[in-house]
Structure 1
Amino acid sequence: MTIREVGDDDVEVVVALWRDCGLTRPWNDPHADVAAARRNPTSTVLVALDESSAVVGTAMAGYEGHRGWLYYVAVAPGLQGTGLGRRVVAAAEAWLQDAGAAEVRLMVRTSNARVLGFYARLGYTDREATVLGRSLPSR
């Protein structure tokens, strides 16, 4: 398996994987999320490729100067439980560490509670914080 940054030819496959894994929502445009991550020098989308160069895993990573964040961690449904997710997260953590992050955070939707065990096995713990947000008006 190879892990590298996303390329132009990967975008549609990445978005399809995110949809297959239930990570997209109608109010978020995953194509815009990929484009924004690629545009910003402090973020990236990593893709894991199998032996045939098919995209089988992803992680979006971003560093905002204080801590690193992970988004869109996905593994092809047929490969979940094989250790691929662990490798993708480790690659994203390494990318963030190289960018200067000393700590990594991620958010898990309350509707995706089954993934909490995966992150617990990787050493992630509840930071006892409530995430608040709001959409900014478009300009």
Structure 2
Amino acid sequence: MMPTFREIEDADVPAVIVLWHESGVARPWNDPATDIAFARRGPHGTVLVAEIDGRVVASAMAGEDGHRGWLYYVAVAPDQQGTGLGRRMVAAAEAWLAARGVWKVQLLVRRENAAVLGFYDHLGYRDTNSVCLQKVIAKA
């Protein structure tokens, strides 16, 4: 069965949160419901899902900051991994960004998730040799 790629709907939120936990992209310090709501609050971000037979099987959060596009929460249901769905999910997110005039896409990979680096390398993503710094300025 071929997946359908589309923007998230309110009814999808619980399934996407389960997907993020099952696929290992959720972290205890990030509330998935808050992150989804934040991405959907305006025209600069979204969460895309892939659906097969009414079941959400993949996601990608995409956003742009006026200079670059970013991908987050690229997730594929464990029983769908290795089928090419991840590649297609990334392509859908890249297309969403390209439709908004974004020509450069970046993403972050946690050091402990080194196994996924080969996946992104195969898709043409390269290490920027940059250091990502962070400061929490307000509690969401």
Question: Which TM-score tier does this pair reach, normalised by the shorter chain?
Answer: over 0.9
Distance across 1 between alignment mates of 2:110 and 2:31 = 17
Q: CA deviation at 1:45?
A: 0.2
TM-score, normalised with respect to structure 2: 0.96
TM-score, normalised with respect to structure 1: 0.96
Question: Which runs of 5 or more residues in structure 1 are unaligned?
Answer: none
CA RMSD of aligned residues (A): 1.0
Q: Which amino acid is the alignment partner of residue 65 of structure 1?
A: G
What is the CA deviation profile of residues 82-116 of structure 1, one whole-angstrom value per residue up to 9, with x for unaligned ones? 00001000000000011121100000000111100
In structure 2, what is the equivalent of residue 29 of structure 1?
Answer: 31
Question: Number of residues paired by the alignment?
Answer: 138
In structure 2, what is the equivalent of residue 10 of structure 1?
Answer: 12
In structure 1, what is the equivalent of residue 79 of structure 2?
Answer: 78
CA contact (8 A) 1:68 1:101 kept: yes
Q: CA deviation at 1:138?
A: 3.5
Distance across 2 between alignment mates of 1:86 and 1:127 = 21
Q: Which runs of 4+ in 1 moved over 2 A?
A: none
In structure 1, what is the equivalent of residue 129 of structure 2?
Answer: 128
Distance across 1 between alignment mates of 2:80 and 2:25 = 16
Residue identity over aligned pairs, in percent, reads 57
What is the CA deviation profile of residues 21-45 of structure 1, one whole-angstrom value per residue up to 9, with x for unaligned ones? 1111111111000001111210000
Distance across 1 between alignment mates of 2:10 and 2:91 = 23
Q: Which amino acid is the alignment partner of residue 24 of structure 2?
A: G
